[in-house]
Amino acid sequence: MEQQVPPADGRRRIARTDVLLADPRLVEAAGRLGRGVVKAAVVAAQGRARAGEIAPETVADAAVESLPPTASGLRPVINATGVLLHTNLGRAPLSDAARDAVAVASGATDVELDLDTGRRARRGRSVLAALLERVPQAEAAHVVNNGAAALLLAATTLAAGREIVISRGEMVEIGDGFRIPELLAATGARLREVGTTNRTSADDYAAAIGDETGFILKVHPSNFLVTGFTKGTDVAELTGLGVPVVADIGSGLLAPEPLLPDEPDAASMLKGGAHLVTSSGDKLLGGPQCGIVLGREDLVRRLARHPLARALRVGKLTLAALEATVRGPRTPTDETLHADVDVLRERAERLAARLRDGGVDARFVESEAAVGGGGAPGVVLPSAAVSLPEPFAAPLRRGTPAVMGRVDDGRCLLDLRSVRPDQDDAVAGAVLGVGA
């Protein structure tokens, strides 16, 4: 590697670390972010000056500019990918109501205390009540760390050392190597596969039921479609077989969503006879990462009392965010899902015009957005985007805030369906900053 050797006097003009750390702006930042974070920014800026990238007298300014917004390494990203629930971007963005609830719960809070009596109270009681209000078909609810944990707890409690009956067409991989059959097998349950990849009938299930059966599992194949000569089996056809039926619906819809008619929801599944429904909190429900179990009281109670439940339980921040999501106003996920495409077009046209005024080769284009996060495969959400030259993609991604677009056919597309309207100004600023 070639190394640039700056003139020795230039190097000498770079202020020492302790001198830089005494800059009032950096003293203030150290109080907010911690001395280690600020020192790292200073050292990085000195390195840039040494490499000749910036002038020695601007090191303090560069350090201030490069400070992260928080003491966490996680940085804010504007999701312009057009994928509403982008797993790499943390899936559902929280609503303001959920953020407020998290802020309150971050202090001491009555998560396990009844303030009236001064006695210990059931953890998460009010979020469980909120879930049951939204899904009256459920007798009881339980919350764990994520969708996989909900399935793990159900399988361990109801089928360890016994059999889980599952269709060969539902032995799915959700993403990043997460395979549901492998998770189930890890609990010590045996999988009793029935039917074929494309067709499984109620008789196939019935023939497999026996003394060893823990439960029947129905998994929503949430990230792919099987078309052609196919046959699935409704939950309703399986509830009379004398064993519990557990439905893993994945997305976390509590009630039917007219825009996504093929996406299962908890209320309909329970109405159809499922005894337990498991799902994620940070997909279409639009809440924090968690797993939700809804269903029959005796079964939910068994899950909640299993020793493993303690290892899978969620923290107060999650409980607060989930309750505010369930009780609160429309979630950002719901809003982006339902955004009117004409409004998206107007926003994209306005943004493109503004960028062109700033000298950027920006064009309005029609676009297609997706739900993502392993949900609603094959559903295309009409959308609108601003198309930029591809070289914009990397600097936008590395900027503050980071803007994550979608590279398509040699262009960098900023799809506005996944961008909140109040973020349009920040997107414009970021692009103009790169273009300048």
Measure the CA–CA gap between 236 and 430, rounded to whole angstroms. Answer: 52
Toward ligand PLP, which CB reaches closer, 242 or 261?
261
Measure the CA–CA gap between 332 and 324, rounded to whole angstroms. Answer: 13
Residue 6's contacts (CB-CB under 8 Å, 6 or more residues apart) are 50, 51, 52
Q: One-letter amino acid identity for 235?
A: V
Q: Considering the rule CB under 6 A, would residue 264 count as an interface residue with ligand PLP?
A: no
Choose the binding region for ligand PLP from 45-53, 133-141, 145-153, 203-211 (rule: CB under 6 A): 145-153
Q: Considering the rule CB under 6 A, would residue 94 count as an interface residue with ligand PLP?
A: no
User: How crowded is residue 116: how many other Cβ atoms within 10 Å of its Cβ?
Assistant: 8
The sign of the torsion formed by the CA atoms of 290, 293, 299, 300 equals positive
Choose the binding region for ligand PLP from 111-119, 140-148, 187-195, 364-372 (rule: CB under 6 A): 140-148
Options 147, 169, 195, 295; binder of ligand PLP; rule CB under 6 A: 147
Q: How far is the CB of 87 from ligand PLP (least distance, A)?
A: 8
- Burial per residue of 120-156, b for 16 or more beta-carbon CB atoms within 10 angstroms, e otherwise: eeeebeebbebbbebbebbbbbbbbbbbbbbbbbbbb
Instruction: Looking at residues 338 to 397 of the shown chain, list those that interact with ligand PLP (rule: CB under 6 A).
Output: 374
Toward ligand PLP, which CB reaches closer, 44 or 178?
178
Q: Considering the rule CB under 6 A, would residue 111 count as an interface residue with ligand PLP?
A: no
Choose the binding region for ligand PLP from 40-48, 196-204, 214-222, 298-306 (rule: CB under 6 A): 214-222
Toward ligand PLP, which CB reaches closer, 252 or 405?
252
- The enclosing H or E element of 164 equals strand 163-167
Q: In the numeric block, which tokens belong to residue 288?
A: 């924090």
Q: Considering the rule CB under 6 A, would residue 418 count as an interface residue with ligand PLP?
A: no
Measure the CA–CA gap between 72 and 74, rounded to whole angstroms. Answer: 5
Options 93, 195, 244, 250; binder of ligand PLP; rule CB under 6 A: 250
Toward ligand PLP, which CB reaches closer, 217 or 348?
217
Q: Considering the rule CB under 6 A, would residue 219 count as an interface residue with ligand PLP?
A: yes
Toward ligand PLP, which CB reaches closer, 200 or 387?
200
Q: Considering the rule CB under 6 A, would residue 328 count as an interface residue with ligand PLP?
A: no
Q: Considering the rule CB under 6 A, would residue 248 count as an interface residue with ligand PLP?
A: yes
Toward ligand PLP, which CB reaches closer, 78 or 83?
83
Q: Considering the rule CB under 6 A, would residue 174 count as an interface residue with ligand PLP?
A: yes
CA-based nearest residue to 397, from 424, 422, 433, 347: 433
**Helix, strand and coil in the chain, % to nearest 5:** 45, 20, 40
Choose the binding region for ligand PLP from 146-154, 187-195, 257-265, 403-411 (rule: CB under 6 A): 146-154
Residue 7's alpha-carbon distances to 16, 55, 340, 436, in angstroms, are: 17, 12, 58, 29
Q: Inter-axis angle of helices 341-357 and 424-435, to 10 degrees?
A: 30
Q: One-letter amino acid identity for 385?
A: A
Q: Considering the rule CB under 6 A, would residue 222 count as an interface residue with ligand PLP?
A: yes
Instruction: Looking at residues 278 to 297 of the shown chain, list those that interact with ligand PLP (rule: CB under 6 A).
Output: 280, 291
Instruction: Looking at residues 24 to 83 of the shown chain, list those that interact with ligand PLP (rule: CB under 6 A).
Output: none
Options 79, 146, 187, 331; binder of ligand PLP; rule CB under 6 A: 146
Q: Considering the rule CB under 6 A, would residue 148 count as an interface residue with ligand PLP?
A: yes
Toward ligand PLP, which CB reaches closer, 84 or 362?
84
Q: One-letter amino acid identity for 22?
A: A
With contact defined as beta carbons under 8 Å apart, do 279 and 251 qualify?
A: yes
Contact footprint for ligand PLP (CB under 6 A): 146-148, 174, 219-220, 222, 248, 250, 280, 291, 374
